[in-house]
Every structure is written in structure tokens, then in C-alpha cells.
């Protein structure tokens, strides 16, 4: 493997390989990127952020539409062919909401975020959404309250051992440790009638740092809005799965839309949550349930709570900005680059910190075009609307243009909210080398070394710290060596999902962050321009670095005559995933055997404290042998095919004729689409990628080889065997294509 590792200069040598006929002046890639960098102006980006974050900009708000028009006008003034594409999507907005404790000592939750002096909230809150999560059910319920910690599957197991059932109850869960929407979904599956989600100060409040306006963390009356649509089934408009939500699209009835939850749900602040939690009796919460509020946490039940929400379930219009610069040499090969422009309130960090970087790239590329340069491939810059409610704008665009995108797109490059600090990326792993090459060439604003070098330093320091995890140690070891840094897999949580997981178009998501503890104003009204410029990225130095990073990826994809993938990285990574699944199955088998022994011996009863009794857990199903052999065989073949291709292209790629280079590009352009299986994943056929998916029980977090891995995790043994075969088949098709490409290089 290592012998194929390219140095940065070798990568540039490939990029500067003999070019096909082009109207562009003979500039080297490095030169082009230098001229691109010179156009990035953080002060100007700061102005765009300030303007776009000056009023609430959620879907359906006047400023959301105005921002789309603002971007369109900017793109046009920079020489792009820019239009606004609209969709009509279901998007509920709150009509009324109530959350209160009833009975002898009543209490009403605030459900509003008060203004902070000197902050945008002081003067621009008109039209802002109150405490709200989109796509929960309407309802009016009164019931006792139970505290369910993060509301994840293990939390319900812990409650079961305490003898606590949530059937007919309202649950209160804290944010974190799993995606927001899973909390009400799992609550309703356990029979709860309502759900409250609060932000505990341990996770993003005073436990982490000073709170806004004195520091970056969440103040006492702030809450996190968000969507709870069941994106793990499918993202996008709940009424039009698989097709674009155009005006005339046929739509499901709201009652038939699987991704809308049933029970009413509201987010609250920790100032309010403290009152609710302090009224609970019942057992003291297990240690893992305890947050940082100055109370003893009990799980309940207790306190009679009234929760009522009612929404306007009409269709709303989305405004996607689509800006195109036609390629001179390969106009029918598209490089896609997107960021969303809608927020929950003002959205300075989420999404505008990434959005202004994307805009800066477009402006810089427009300036290059003014000098007579043209991109070889067509560039498509996309300003998405409706990301926050559930990736609406990107999903509907991808579904509407599926056929054309599958024929033309090379890659989709995404950004979203960023922070100050270290580079991070999740991506289709065949592009890991490309990403590493770029990070070697972008300068970190705080240290002036490359962002790649800084990340390596951080990883090595973390690995040397006391208490470093096995993962930290492994990463530190890689960072200390000459090999590329691994990129993570893509789950969900931003606009790449439809491209990667529904269409099979490879994707990269990149960002910076890690120097603000937790993003304590996330999805709150306090995610303002003032907050962002004081605490997250003063002077937008990292948004500028993001533009230099995203712009380089776009330009290298656009200009290279040879494919930018290195397939061994993908093959080795998939091999690692398969090893993990094998170990997971073994660990589950052993745990089930141990538990069965303990149950049989009555050990749980003997170990239980009679004053704080714990019931024995429900028996785990025993784990049969799982036949992963077909998949193991396909992975071995993939490793061999990838290694052979990579060696061939390294040795002979640059010397190929222009015609052969173009053929090679055509063979590898859509290779990642071979990773789709039409049958899709169990319970969720919209997700067709057999390598990457958001986890059914993690949400944003990725599950790799998901058909097999989740079957093992959830004890669906037949599915595990079936998807080992399905996944092997897509990998074999991938290897076939690589072998054909290798044959082309060798002159066959």
C-alpha cells in the first residue's frame, strides 16, 4: 500500500500531465490555485454573512427567499449562469404550543428565547420560530413524566431494569448521544404519548465553558430547534419519496407519510428542564443519566404534564439556487458543489459559515473566468433551501434530476456549518488521496502550517494524552507516519445524502472545527453574526480556509485529465469495515453467552442492592454462526483489483493518449454508482448504497456495509447472510470495472 502513497508534488505532476485540447491558457494547476487564493477575501465574506443573518431565514420566511435571490444576483454578477429552482414541499409551521406542569404547583415552560443586549436577538426576532421541532405529530396529551436520559435503546434497557415503563407517559430526554429524531421515534415505539427534549448544561452549557454572551456555550433559556422527520427511512419531502416535489408531483396523503412522527414533541431550555426534572420522584437516575443541573436526577414517574402542539401542515415553497459555469472541454461532466442557505433562526454558523465560503469560491472562479480561463468540466454550484427540516432542497433536486445527474456528475462536494480549528472530512474513500493532497496545500490561519500538518499534530498529541482511547492511539500512529490520514464515512445530517446514498454519486463533506467546545448556540436564536464573530471564527479566517479547501477540490476535479480516485484506499477501508463486523458478531455472541450463564445462575438477583433493586435484563438472543464468506471473498478481490489499477495508473496514466485518458475518465466517473443495489436496505429501500448509510439507531452517524452490519447489530441473522451476498455482488461489479480500466491502461 504505502509504496503507492503519492507525495504532494507527485500529485501535482499528475495534474499537470499533458492536457487535452482546451481554450484555457497554459497555466499549471498550482498557478491556477494561487490565482484562485488571491481572490478569497474574508472581509467580504463577513459582509455576506452579516446581510444573510440579519433576519430569520427558515423555510417559508421572507428572508429565506430574499437570501436565495441575493445569492442568485451575486452569482450572476460573478459571471455564472444562475437560476432559482423551486419545489413545493410539506413543511409544518407551529400554530400553537403548550407545555406545563398541572396540579397543585403549576408551571409553564417559556418556549421563547429572550433577547440578549448587543445581539441580533435584541431587534430582529419578529417572525422567528418558537421552541419547535418539525414533523412531530400534532397532539394534546396530559400524562406523568419519565426521564429517559438520551432516549436511546440502551437507556430504555436501563429503565427496564429499574422497573420503569414509559407506556402512556410523556418522556423527557436530553439532547446528544444519538440523533434528535430518534428520541421521539423510540419514545413512541415504547408507547409514550409525548416527548420533551432539553439541552443539558453538561453537554453544551456551563459545564463546557462560559455561556453566551460571556462565552460560547448555551445560555439557560436557549433551546435547540430541529427536525424529527424519520430521515433514517428517507430524507426529503415526506409526501414525495423517490420523486421530485415539483408542483405537479403525485403526493402521499399526510397520514400515509412514513417519516412523520405520531406524538407531540417540543424542545426546551435547561432553565425550564430543571423545573420538570426536579419534580420527578421514583428511583435515582443511574450515573450515566446524570447531567450538570444542580439537582438529584430521578427517573420518575412524577409530575402531571400537559403537552399540546398544533401545526399548519400546508405546502411551502423551497428556493434552491443553481449556478452553472459550463466546461470548455468536458461540458457534460459535472462537478457539483453545495451548501444550504436556510437556517433555524439567523443561522450565522449553521449554515452561513459554510455558505459564504462556497460563495467566495464562486466569486474567485468567476474572476478567473474573466481573465479568459475556463473550467474544463462544468461546475454546478448549489445553494440549497430546506436543509434544516430534512435535506428537502437537495433531496428534491437530486430526485428530480436523477437521470441527468447519474449520467453527468463526477462528484458532489458539500460543506455546512464550520468552526475554528482542525480540518475534518468524511467522504467516499476513493477520494481520500485527493483530500489529503489538498490539505497539504492549504494554510492553517492560526499556525501558518498546512491544515494537514496541523491535524497530524493534533492527532499525535491526543494519542499521547493520558486516557487516550484505542481509536486515538490508532489515529496517532497513522498521523506520525507517511501515510495519508483516513477520512470518515458519510452518514447523514447534511445535503450529500441523496447524492451518495440514493444516486450513488461519490461525495465529500468537509469542514473545520474543534476549538469551540460544543457549539452551544446550535439551532438556537443565538446563532447570530455577533456570536459567530466573537466566539467561533473572528474575521472568518476559517471560512476563508474552507473556501481555499473546497475551491481546490473543485478545481482539481474540474481540470484533471486523469481520474482523481485512488481505489486502494476504498478497498482497504471496506476491508477494515468487514473486519469490524466479524469482531462485532463475535463480541455479541460472547456477551449473549455470558449473559445466559449469569441469568441461569441467578447472578443478577444476587448482585442487586435490595434498597436500589435492579431487575435482571431481558435475555439477549444467542448469536448463530454468520456466513460472511461471500463478502470476504469479494473484498479480497476488490483489494487486488484496486491495487493493480492504482499501480497501472501511477506507472502509465500520464503517458496515455488524450483519447485513452478520456476513456479512462468515462470508466471511472460513475464507478461508485455500482455500489447501489436496487433492493435498497431493509426497512428503507430509498437507501440504495451498500457501503454507506446513516444508522437506523444513530441517525447522523454512519453505518458502513449497513445491510450486513445493522443486521448483526439488531440480530436479524437471515438479513445478515442475505446482505453479505448482495454487498458482495456490488463489490464484484466494482472490481469488474476496475479490471476493465486496468486493461485499458495496458492497451487491451
Q: Which 3-state string (H, E, C) describes 529-549?
A: HHHHHHHHCHHHHHHHHHHHH
CB neighbours of residue 342 within 10 Å: 28
Least spacing, CB of residue 578 vs Zn ion, in Å: 32
Question: Given the complex with Zn ion, which of 289 and 346 has the nearer CB atom?
Answer: 346
Per rule CB under 5 A, is residue 537 in the interface with Zn ion? no
Question: Given the complex with Zn ion, which of 33 and 416 has the nearer CB atom?
Answer: 416
User: In this structure, are residues 385 and 320 in contact, taking their beta carbons and an 8 Å threshold?
Assistant: yes
Task: Single out the residue of 360, 395, 401, 367 nearest to residue 381, CA to CA.
Answer: 360
Whether the CA torsion 706, 712, 714, 720 is positive or negative: it is positive
Q: First CA to last CA across the chain, in angstroms?
A: 25
Task: Single out the residue of 432, 414, 424, 474 nearest to residue 454, CA to CA.
Answer: 424
Judged by CB under 5 A, the number of residues near Zn ion is 4
Site string for Zn ion, 241-280 (x = CB under 5 A): ----------------------------------------
Question: Segment 44-63, which members bind Zn ion (CB under 5 A)?
Answer: none
Question: Given the complex with Zn ion, which of 417 and 719 has the nearer CB atom?
Answer: 417
Least spacing, CB of residue 351 vs Zn ion, in Å: 4
CB neighbours of residue 31 within 10 Å: 12
C-alpha cell at 177: 448521544
Question: Segment 348-387, which members bind Zn ion (CB under 5 A)?
Answer: 350-351
Question: Given the complex with Zn ion, which of 244 and 519 has the nearer CB atom?
Answer: 519
Least spacing, CB of residue 59 vs Zn ion, in Å: 13
Q: What are phi and psi of 283, to 5 degrees?
A: -60, 150
Site string for Zn ion, 411-430 (x = CB under 5 A): -----xx-------------
Question: Given the complex with Zn ion, which of 134 and 691 has the nearer CB atom?
Answer: 134
Buried residues in 220-232 as b, exposed as e (16+ CB within 10 A): bbbbbbbbbbbbb
Least spacing, CB of residue 60 vs Zn ion, in Å: 17
Query: Could you tell me how many residues make up the chain?
Result: 748
Least spacing, CB of residue 523 vs Zn ion, in Å: 9
Question: Given the complex with Zn ion, which of 259 and 353 has the nearer CB atom?
Answer: 353
Whether the CA torsion 254, 257, 263, 266 is positive or negative: it is negative
Least spacing, CB of residue 350 vs Zn ion, in Å: 4
Question: Segment 23-42, which members bind Zn ion (CB under 5 A)?
Answer: none
Least spacing, CB of residue 393 vs Zn ion, in Å: 12
Least spacing, CB of residue 342 vs Zn ion, in Å: 8
Task: Single out the residue of 365, 183, 145, 158 nearest to residue 277, CA to CA.
Answer: 145
| For the chain, the helix, strand and coil percentages under 3-state DSSP, each to the nearest 5 | 45, 15, 40
Question: Given the complex with Zn ion, which of 199 and 704 has the nearer CB atom?
Answer: 199
Site string for Zn ion, 326-355 (x = CB under 5 A): ------------------------xx----
Question: Given the complex with Zn ion, which of 149 and 339 has the nearer CB atom?
Answer: 339
Task: Single out the residue of 189, 144, 466, 159 nearest to residue 288, CA to CA.
Answer: 159
Specify the residue for cell string 492511539.
Answer: 473
Among 409-417, 506-514, 638-646, 676-684, the segment contacting Zn ion (CB under 5 A): 409-417
Strand-strand pairing, 315-325 and 377-384: antiparallel
Least spacing, CB of residue 372 vs Zn ion, in Å: 36
User: In this structure, are residues 426 and 702 in contact, taking their beta carbons and an 8 Å threshold?
Assistant: yes
Question: Given the complex with Zn ion, which of 132 and 645 has the nearer CB atom?
Answer: 132
Point out which residues bind Zn ion (CB under 5 A). Answer: 350-351, 416-417
Amino acid at each position: 500500500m504505502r509504496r503507492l502513497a503519492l507525495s504532494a508534488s507527485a500529485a501535482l505532476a499528475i495534474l499537470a500531465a499533458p492536457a487535452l485540447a482546451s481554450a484555457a491558457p497554459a497555466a499549471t494547476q498550482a498557478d491556477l490555485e494561487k490565482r484562485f487564493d488571491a481572490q478569497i477575501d474574508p472581509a467580504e465574506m463577513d459582509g455576506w454573512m452579516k446581510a444573510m443573518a440579519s433576519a430569520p431565514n427558515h423555510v417559508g420566511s421572507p428572508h429565506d427567499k430574499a437570501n436565495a435571490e441575493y445569492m442568485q444576483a451575486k452569482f450572476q454578477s460573478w459571471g455564472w449562469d444562475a437560476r432559482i429552482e423551486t419545489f413545493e414541499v410539506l413543511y409544518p409551521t407551529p400554530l400553537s404550543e403548550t407545555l406545563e406542569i398541572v396540579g397543585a404547583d403549576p408551571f409553564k415552560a417559556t418556549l421563547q428565547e429572550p433577547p440578549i443586549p448587543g445581539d441580533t436577538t435584541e431587534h430582529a426576532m419578529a417572525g422567528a420560530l418558537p421552541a419547535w421541532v418539525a414533523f412531530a405529530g400534532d397532539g394534546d396529551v396530559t400524562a406523568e413524566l419519565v426521564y429517559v436520559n438520551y432516549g436511546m435503546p440502551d437507556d430504555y434497557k436501563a429503565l427496564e431494569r429499574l422497573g420503569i415503563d414509559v407506556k402512556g407517559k410523556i418522556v423527557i430526554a436530553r439532547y446528544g448521544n444519538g440523533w434528535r429524531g430518534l428520541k421521539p421515534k423510540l419514545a413512541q415505539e415504547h408507547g409514550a404519548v409525548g416527548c420533551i427534549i432539553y439541552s443539558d448544561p453538561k453537554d453544551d452549557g456551563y459545564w463546557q465553558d462560559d455561556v453566551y454572551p460571556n462565552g460560547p456555550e448555551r445560555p439557560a433559556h436557549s433551546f435547540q430547534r430541529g427536525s424529527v422527520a424519520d430521515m433514517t427511512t428517507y430524507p426529503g419531502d415526506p409526501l414525495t419519496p423517490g420523486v421530485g416535489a415539483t408542483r405537479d408531483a403525485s403526493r402521499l396523503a399526510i397520514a400515509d407519510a412514513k417519516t412523520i412522527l405520531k406524538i407531540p414533541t417540543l424542545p426546551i431550555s435547561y432553565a425550564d428542564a430543571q423545573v420538570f426534572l426536579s419534580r420527578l420522584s421514583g428511583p435515582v437516575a443511574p450515573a450515566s443519566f446524570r447531567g450538570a443541573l444542580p439537582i438529584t436526577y430521578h427517573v420518575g414517574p412524577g409530575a402531571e404534564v400537559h403537552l399540546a402542539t398544533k401545526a399548519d401542515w400546508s405546502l411551502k415553497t423551497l428556493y434552491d439556487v443553481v449556478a452553472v459555469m459550463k466546461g470548455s472541454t468536458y461540458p457534460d461532466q459535472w462537478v457539483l458543489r453545495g451548501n444550504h442557505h436556510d437556517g433555524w433562526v439567523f443561522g450565522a454558523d449553521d449554515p452561513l459559515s459554510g455558505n459564504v465560503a462556497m460563495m467566495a469560491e464562486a466569486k474567485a472562479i468567476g474572476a478567473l473566468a474573466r481573465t479568459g480561463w475556463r473550467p474544463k468540466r462544468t461546475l454546478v454550484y448549489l445553494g440549497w433551501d430546506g436543509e434544516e427540516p430534512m435535506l428537502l432542497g437537495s433531496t428534491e433536486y437530486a430526485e428530480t434530476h436523477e437521470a441527468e445527474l447519474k449520467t453527468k456528475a463526477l462528484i458532489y462536494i458539500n460543506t455546512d456549518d464550520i468552526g475554528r480549528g482542525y480540518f475534518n472530512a468524511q467522504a467516499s474513500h476513493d477520494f481520500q488521496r485527493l483530500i489529503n493532497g489538498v490539505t497539504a496545500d492549504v494554510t492553517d490561519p492560526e499556525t501558518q502550517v498546512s491544515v494537514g500538518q496541523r491535524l497530524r499534530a493534533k492527532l499525535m498529541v491526543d494519542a499521547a494524552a493520558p486516557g487516550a482511547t484505542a481509536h486515538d492511539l490508532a489515529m496517532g500512529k497513522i498521523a506520525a507516519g507517511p501515510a495519508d490520514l483516513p477520512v470518515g464515512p458519510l452518514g447523514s445530517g447534511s445535503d450529500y445524502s441523496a447524492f451518495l446514498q440514493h444516486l450513488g454519486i461519490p461525495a465529500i463533506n468537509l469542514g473545520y472545527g474543534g476549538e469551540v467546545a460544543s457549539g452551544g448556540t446550535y439551532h438556537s436564536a443565538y446563532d447570530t453574526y455577533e456570536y459567530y464573530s466573537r466566539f467561533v471564527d473572528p474575521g472568518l479566517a476559517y471560512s476563508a480556509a474552507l473556501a481555499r479547501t473546497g475551491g481546490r477540490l473543485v478545481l482539481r476535479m474540474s481540470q484533471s485529465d486523469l481520474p482523481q480516485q485512488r481505489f486502494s484506499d476504498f478497498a482497504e477501508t471496506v476491508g477494515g469495515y468487514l473486519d469490524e463486523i466479524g469482531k462485532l458478531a463475535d463480541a455479541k455472541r460472547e456477551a449473549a453467552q455470558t449473559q445466559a450463564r449469569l441469568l441461569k445462575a441467578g447472578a443478577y438477583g444476587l448482585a442487586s442492592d435490595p434498597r436500589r433493586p435492579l431487575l435482571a435484563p431481558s435475555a439477549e438472543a444467542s448469536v448463530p454462526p454468520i456466513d460472511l464468506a461471500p463478502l470476504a471473498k469479494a473484498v479480497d478481490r476488490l483489494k487486488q483489483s484496486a491495487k493493480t489499477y492504482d499501480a497501472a495508473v501511477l506507472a502509465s496514466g500520464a503517458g496515455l493518449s488524450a483519447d485513452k485518458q478520456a476513456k479512462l475518465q468515462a470508466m471511472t466517473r460513475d464507478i461508485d454508482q455500482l455500489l447501489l443495489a436496487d433492493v435498497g436496505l431493509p426497512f428503507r429501500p430509498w437507501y440504495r448504497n451498500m457501503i454507506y448509510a446513516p444508522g437506523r439507531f444513530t441517525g447522523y452517524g454512519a453505518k458502513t456495509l449497513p445491510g450486513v452490519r445493522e443486521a448483526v447489530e439488531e440480530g436479524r441473522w437471515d438479513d445478515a447472510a442475505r446482505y453479505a451476498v448482495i454487498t458482495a455482488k456490488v463489490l464484484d461489479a466494482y472490481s469488474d470495472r476496475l479490471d476493465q480500466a486496468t486493461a485499458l491502461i495496458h492497451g487491451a
